[in-house]
Amino acid sequence: MSGSATFSVEFFPPKDEVGESRLWESLASLAEVKPDFVSVTYGAGGSTRDRTIRVTAEITRRTGIRTVAHLTCVGATEEQLRATLGRYRSAQIESILALRGDPQGGPSATWESVPGGFDHADQLVSLAVDQGFEVGVAAFPDRHPASKTIDEDIDVLLEKQRRGASFATTQFFFEPDRYFELVAALADRSSDLPIIAGILPITNVKQLERMALLGGTPIPESIRKRVLAVADDANRVREIGIEIAIELGQALLAGGVPGLHFYTMNSASSTLEIVKALGLR
């Protein structure tokens, strides 16, 4: 995580054959710009675990792109988590994004413990590091929905770093100052943990509202107005979304961000335009 800013993308496991075909098309188009890594998520409550493992392993085999596999504590015992890590290792995946994960009701829902499982991501960090994986974790410029203060989030990140996490990737956000405040707060605690900034290219107004609500990400009024002004024109929404992402990316790069991570929603076209406009490739 040094030198020029990295560029990475995130996908979610497809629900059916049509979705899987779309995913491979998107990855094929992204291959031309060679992302530093691609990550694959779990669904809410760990509901897509088996599909995640299969698709993640297939991405590595088909593209050769470094793959970072998500792993969550949701609905799993320590024994099951060890088995999943073993399957990732067999698929030659060396990097894990260790997350507590969201319950079925979303990040603000009540957490339900599993006997023999973990309740916090730092426990998962320790397990994955002990198994020899490079481990990344999540960070929240707009504060985690379950945290009362940014200091709570900083304490959690520091503990994950102490247990061996070597980088963090943020939830998507829209205000660069929030990112830099998070990095400064870590630096004030003598932490140099690299924080990769997450960017969501806006392509759909309803999708934006839903994801922002679930993740607790505030949408600045200036951005809301720009998007709502063209809400009836899908092409214009996409164009405005690209403009907003480029503006955010430029501000982050100017401030020395170590990497940009794009939440593609399994569509590559907007991300390709943004990455090229930012000069990342």
Residues forming the active site = 10
Name residue 77's beta-bridge partners: 117
Structure tokens at 160: 């994950």
Residue count of the chain: 281
Q: Is 99 helix (H, G, I), strand (E, B) or coil?
A: strand
Is-contact 174 220, C-beta < 8 A? yes
* Of 157, 162, 101, 167, the residue nearest 134 (C-alpha): 167
Query: Using an 8 Å Cβ cutoff, are 43 and 79 in contact?
Result: no
Tokens of 66: 């470094």
Neighbours of 49 (CB within 10 A): 21
Residue 4, φ and ψ in degrees, nearest 5? -70, 160
Q: Is the dihedral of CA 263, 42, 212, 258 positive or negative?
A: negative
Tokens 């996908």 correspond to what residue?
11
Tokens standing for residue 239: 């164009």
Measured distance between the N- and C-terminal CA atoms of the chain, rounded to whole angstroms = 17
Separation CA 140–CA 76 (nearest Å): 24
User: Alpha-carbon distance 52 to 39, whole Å?
Assistant: 10
- 103 backbone dihedrals φ, ψ, rounded to 5°: -60, 170
